[in-house]
Amino acid sequence: MLAIADVSRETAQKVSERCGIPRVAEHAEEILANPDVEAVLVCSPTETHADLVVKAAKAGKHIFCEKPIAHSLPKIDQALLAVKDAGVKLQIGFNRRFDANFARVREAVTNGEIGKPQMMHIISRDPAPPTISYIKVSGGIFMDMTIHDFDMARFLIGDEVESIYTAAAVKVDPEIGKAGDLDTALIVLQFKNEVIGTIDNSRKAVYGYDQRVEILGSDGAIATANCYPNQAVISNAYRIQRDLPLNFFMDRYTDSFVAEMRAFVTAVLQNKPTPVTGIDGRMAAVMGLAARKSFDERRPVRLEEVAQA
């Protein structure tokens, strides 16, 4: 039994036709009430996630939930408690863990191929900012965009961050500033295992989606470059050039979206733990809250200051 619901029936209809989903339900509750449904994907706007997760857990469904779980820790904890009480599986949509480049970096760290990690750099710049109406409900750059990089940092290093220092600004669009948000940020991470890391974010890189990481270790370094639609290099008497990188997440991360969904379905079918847990979702949100607090108070913030709030 496969079904889709959306507050816009027209949207649900279009997606059902495009993806071959046989049934369009009137609302999410109709799907949750169906005993033939084993698992649900919560891909609606962030402010709806926590309530839907609670309802789905109470209905005994396994849950895939897009990032972030919610914008506030009480809401996140409410959702995680419902999941725990119901004993259902929860996977959070940190798809980048399933990207072949980043998975290889993690593998190199795990295998000791670069010795003991010392420094980590994540560059994560979007080609263009979202609409101002999206910015207003996004929870801010750290909860909406950097949250992927916070998860990536924990994933690559395999340890928790102790404190965060944020320098940030509005450089791309003053309207983003008027909406109370930021569009440019440099974040310094201090890990518990003493690795030092940076995250470099911009809502607008004119040359396209810029997604790179580098880790320096005691025995070497590992780095990943951007992904391109082709490998052609054009050389003439004046310059050597190539086409721009894959433009945005739907192109750059297509394979990772498929792989994360495979991993979720496998976890449900084989009754195994999901590879990206509710705790992973919570930790990334804690880091997002700490990053904003650091910017607001112009000082490094220990994660425990935020997590205990």
Ligand X SMILES: NC(=O)c1ccc[n+]([C@@H]2O[C@H](COP(=O)([O-])OP(=O)(O)OC[C@H]3O[C@@H](n4cnc5c(N)ncnc54)[C@H](O)[C@@H]3O)[C@@H](O)[C@H]2O)c1
Q: How far is the CB of 268 from ligand X (least distance, A)?
A: 19
Candidates 249, 261, 265, 293: give the one binding ligand X (CB under 6 A).
249
Q: Per rule CB under 6 A, is residue 71 in the interface with ligand X? A: no
Q: Distance of CA 284 to CAs 75, 89, 255, Å?
A: 14, 19, 22
Which of 116, 134 has the CB closer to ligand X? 134
Q: Per rule CB under 6 A, is residue 72 in the interface with ligand X? A: no
Which of 250, 269 has the CB closer to ligand X? 250
**Cβ–Cβ contacts within 10 Å for residue 213, how many?**
24
Q: How far is the CB of 241 from ligand X (least distance, A)?
A: 29
Candidates 4, 16, 24, 46: give the one binding ligand X (CB under 6 A).
46
Amino acid identity for residue 134 in this structure: Y
Q: What are phi and psi of 243, to 5 degrees?
A: -70, 165
The two tokens of residue 236 are 């003439």
Q: Per rule CB under 6 A, is residue 274 in the interface with ligand X? A: no
- Residue 244 CA, chain-centre distance (Å), reads 23
Q: Tell me the per-residue interface mask from 9 to 38 with ligand X, x by CB under 6 A, - otherwise.
A: --x----------------x----------
Task: Mark the segment that binds ligand X (CB under 6 A) among 41-49, 234-242, 263-271, 291-299.
Answer: 41-49
Distance CA 116, CA 256 (A): 27
Residue corresponding to tokens 């408690």: 81
The two tokens of residue 211 are 């997604």
Candidates 3, 4, 5, 263: give the one binding ligand X (CB under 6 A).
5
Which positions ≥6 away from 249 have C-beta within 8 Å?
209
Task: Mark the segment that binds ligand X (CB under 6 A) among 7-15, 121-129, 153-161, 294-302.
Answer: 7-15
**Cβ–Cβ contacts within 10 Å for residue 211, how many?**
27
Q: How far is the CB of 258 from ligand X (least distance, A)?
A: 13
Q: Is the dihedral of CA 25, 94, 75, 88 positive or negative?
A: positive
Ordered alpha helix ranges (H), 48-168: 49-58, 73-86, 100-111, 132-137, 141-144, 146-157
Task: Mark the segment that binds ligand X (CB under 6 A) among 45-53, 152-160, 167-175, 264-272.
Answer: 45-53
Give CA angle at 207 (205, 211), nearest 5°: 65
Tell me which residues in 80-139 interact with ligand X (CB under 6 A). 93, 95
* Residues at the interface with ligand X (CB under 6 A): 5-8, 11, 28, 43-46, 48, 66-67, 93, 95, 144, 249
